[in-house]
Amino acid sequence: MVDQILTKIVAAGIPAQKLTQHHYKYGPLNFYPKRGIIHRDGAEKSNAERGLDAFIELCRTYDLNQLI
């Protein structure tokens, strides 16, 4: 399952990091595949959308330059 997740993220062109077996990160965005949770660093609550497809879409629309 995890290898399929990483393969799909990479195929989508997202340079996310695999921090642990259960945690992927792109900039301030975190994805926890076991429950499908997407969380942004510093946010009080997790994103309402869930799942790998939602994480990929959010990464595609997120501008890392706005953090600099």
Tell me the DSSP string of 11-58: HTT---EEEETTEEEETTEEEETTTTEEEETT-SS--S--SHHHHHHH
CA distances from 66 to 7, 20, 28, 37, 56 (A): 27, 26, 11, 23, 18
pLDDT, tens only, 44-61: 999 999 999 999 999 998
Q: In angstroms, rounded to a whole number, what is the distance separating the alpha carbons of residues 25 and 32?
A: 9
- Residue-wise pLDDT for 4-30, tens only, equals 898 999 999 999 999 998 999 999 999
Whole-model pTM? 0.86
